[in-house]
A = this chain, B = another copy of it.
């Protein structure tokens, strides 16, 4: 599909978390499967943008006219500065905003805390025909919750199971789930945080709490490793993407979305009206 030109292996294979995956072994500066550099990456992203836009339109169209119940959910998880926002901006902007449901999960509100952790998540599940994007997600409830001991260990244990059940439910109702963790190095994170401190137009993106979180990075990595072990399922796989090179991370996420949509064997829906009859009506009115 043109897009494959620089890919030696399909990112869906090469980035997928398998049984023996160890986060500690993954080099955040690597670019698994991609043979080109930044320039080729940019070209590939442009080609991919059009392919993604077409596939998304078919997904949307199939629901609008054919009541196709299917949908896609992209879950984005990462440490601060790893590039979640950039992916939303540079990958998803290729797609008709009408067909995208973006949900950003921040610190839960008091009302949200009064409910089960999945309560606020369920409200944001993408509707049929849509691509949903979760910028952070229910995984925060087994990540920051574990690292900062916001819930007792047995509750964290319960949550892994609840998550698997929830995602199985989503899959059964026609949701293709793509879970992505963006992996950056400590050095790259320092550079990016410093840049936010150095540039007046980036100050708003910085929060002193980001450094507090950074100091807990080892514990976060350990928690991510557990997440991969407990919540990698056939219907809701994890992909870990080295993210020190922003262009690679964007390209990889775009490609995972394209693969997911291609796997759905979409097509334009058939007209549910008589085309010639309607042409006749138009000719006279």
Contacts and interface: CB of A to CB of B under 8 A. Distances in A.
A1 interface: no
B275 A61 contact: no
Contacts of A89: 96-98
A214 to B, nearest CB: 6
A71 B58 CA distance: 33
A281 B201 CA distance: 21
A93 B97 contact: yes
A211 interface: yes
A95 B102 CA distance: 14
Contact of A98 (B102, B203, B271): B102
B200 A268 contact: yes
Nearest to A215: B285
A97 B87 CA distance: 10
Interface string A75-107: 000000000010011001111111010101000
A102 B102 CA distance: 10
Contact of A211 (B205, B215, B278): B278
A197 interface: yes
A208 interface: yes
Contacts of A100: 97
Contacts of A193: 282
A206 B278 contact: yes
Contact of A203 (B200, B204, B270, B279): B270
Contacts of A104: 98
A27 to B, nearest CB: 22
A194 interface: yes
Given A89-B96, A203-B269, A206-B273, 5 more contacts: A61-B201, A93-B93, A93-B96, A194-B279, A207-B273
Interface of A: 57, 61-62, 64-66, 85, 88-89, 92-98, 100, 102, 104, 135, 190, 193-194, 197, 200-201, 203-208, 211, 214-215, 268-271, 273, 275, 278-279, 281-282, 285
Closest 9 CB pairs of A and B: A61-B204, A65-B204, A203-B271, A89-B96, A211-B281, A208-B273, A201-B268, A93-B93, A200-B268
